[in-house]
Structure 1
Amino acid sequence: MPPVPPYPVFIDSHVIGGFGRGSSDLGIPTANIPPSDFVASNIPKGQTGIYFGLAQISGTYGTLVRQPSPDGNGSKPPVTEIIQTENSIRPEDGVVLPMVMSVGWNPFYGNSEPSAEVHVVHKFTDQFYGANIRLAVLGYIRPERNFESVDALIEEIMNDIRKAKEFLAEDGYKQIESNEFFK
């Protein structure tokens, strides 16, 4: 079964610094994109939650320098700067890969600003701040919600990843991997 409109939605963006919680708190690293790039896409406006699709990382990347959150309590992302070191994405890391993306306010953490956080289902050797990221958003999994514990949140994220892999195994979704967008 192919993606149902308005999907696929293609987003061409770059990786920015986020809250720094994906890897450290959850053990599930994320590549954050500017929320404005998501808002500018053809995704139904105001629909926060968890999406699935495909991602491709390319170009060069640098090191992230992080300063404390400006509000002091972590509800706003820390001030970050990417120092470009001209490292190139390795060929094995630059292929089209499955992804899940959280868009919204992350109620568990009480964000005061929205975020768009992409978990690419792949084991990367390096972090790739500043690299290009192309996303084919292929569907919606669920709305965002709060959780009673970090363990419950991690369990739900793992369930989202499992669902995404199931959807992406279907023929209609597999053909998107060869879309001209990823060339």
Structure 2
Amino acid sequence: MTAVAAPGHLPLVVATVSLARLSPRLLIDPKDLPTELRDGHVVVGNFDGVHRGHQSVVRQAAEPAHAAGRPVVALTFEPHPRTFFQPDQPLFRLTGRDEKARQLARAGVDATVVLTFDRALATEEAEDFVAEVLVGRLAAHTVVVGWDFHFGRGRRGSPAFLAEAGPRHGLYVEVAPPYGGGTPVSSSAIRDHLAAGEIQAAGRLLGRRWIVEGEVVHGDKRGRDLGFPTANIRLAPETRLKHGIYAVRALVGDRIVDGAASYGRRPQFDDGAPLFETYLMDFSGQLYGERLRIELASFLRPEERFESVDALISQMARDVDAARAVLAAPEDPLAPSALA
């Protein structure tokens, strides 16, 4: 850890501060922060996935901040900067904006601030970003960044630059070291695991089961005809999740429901656009238009075409039984549920 003390700061002693640790408080492009979120510890990053490495950065900010009665604010960007700079290379996002805020809250932040990543922000000089965003808009006391975070025009704002510039602006600065030793945890590695159907490996890097979220849309009602009605969600086109069958859990209202899901093109019928179709066990109800959060527990088998529809139905029954068995087993302590 690199720590730089800012000049001119006097110790602040506060007995307690009442902040909702697990409430995903989200502020979009605020001009300034509410009073109770000012003079806090700010963690800055893209935080796609909010994986173990990101959680380590948050902890480095949150533990001393909450001990001193200071708030913790996460600063992140939408769209993802890579999407802005390389629009022709769609990025498989691990977490959308809202899920990112939920997981940051779970990691220990009190609010997430999202700045729109546009040309003005992309071309802002690093020194101006420190002065105008970190000091001016966020009124930060301490800034914590990961060892590989860069910002500002031409990515000139390195951790070393921030450590030098911070004290000139009255900021304490900390640079978090790599998490995971010689092979740091990365969002790219998690994406690769998901693309290979390696759900447990992805979960262990995330520190939780991976979650998809979306609005339930109308399908062709074929699942109902087959005896397995499904709640259907369209994932982003750039999603690289391996096509196949999964054991899943879904948050339906305030209830967690076991399920078996298929993600793919339905080769038995139409080979259409990929769709995430979830059969919810022991559940009945109308879900069209509702937003579901669904976590993946295990990959069961690849998507395939069968010799007949009856053969498919028999296999679907076996898939449900397999999913029940997976979900009845103890959770992996390195990748537990994160729905609640």
So what's the TM-score if we normalise by structure 2?
A: 0.37
Partner of 1:139: 298
After TM superposition, list the pairs within 5 Å mapping 1:20-169 onto structure 2.
20-23=221-224, 25-36=225-236, 39=239, 45=240, 47-58=242-253, 94-124=254-284, 126-169=285-328
Task: Compute the displacement of 1:123 (Å).
Answer: 2.9
Residue 269 of structure 2 aligns to a residue whose secondary structure is: coil
* Unaligned residue ranges in structure 2 (runs of 5+): 1-198, 204-208
Q: Is the 8 A contact 1:38 1:116 kept in 2?
A: no
Q: Distance in 2 between matches of 1:22 and 1:33?
A: 14
Identity over the aligned pairs, expressed in percent? 29
Tell me the equivalent position of 1:15: 216
The structure that is strand-richer by fraction is 1
Which one scores higher on RCO, CA 8 angstroms, separation ≥ 6? 1
CA 1:10–1:112 in structure 2 vs 1: closer, same or farther (change >3 Å)?
closer
Shift in Å at residue 127 of structure 1? 2.1
Conserved 8 A contact 1:11-1:37: no
Unmatched 5+ residue regions in structure 1? 40-44, 59-93
Larger radius of gyration: 2
Distance 1:165 1:173, change over 3 A: farther
- CA separation of 1:101/1:32 partners in 2, compared to 1, >3 Å: closer, same or farther? same
C-alpha displacement at 1:119, in angstroms? 0.7
Give the distance between the partners of 2:248 and 2:282, measured in 1 at CA.
Answer: 13
Question: In structure 1, the residue corresponding to 2:331 is in which secondary structure?
Answer: helix
Amino acid at match of 1:104: G
- In structure 2, C-alpha distance between the alignment counterparts of 1:96 and 1:135, rounded to whole Å: 9
Cα offsets for 1:76-116 (capped at 9, x unmatched)? xxxxxxxxxxxxxxxxxx41111111111111102332211
CA contact (8 A) 2:266 2:272 kept: no
User: Structure 1 residues 162, 142: CA separation in 2 closer, same or farther (over 3 Å shift)?
Assistant: same
| Matched residue, 1:170 | 329
Change in Cα spacing, 1:57 to 1:96, as seen in structure 2 (3 Å) is: same
Q: Matched residue of 2:300: which SS? A: strand
Task: Answer whether contact 2:257 2:283 (CA < 8 A) is retained.
Answer: no
Higher helix proportion (structure 1 or 2): 2
Q: TM-score, normalised by structure 1?
A: 0.67
- Once residues 325 and 238 of structure 2 are traced to their aligned partners in structure 1, the CA distance between those partners, rounded to angstroms, is 24
Structure 2 CA distance, aligned partners of 1:38 and 1:27? 31
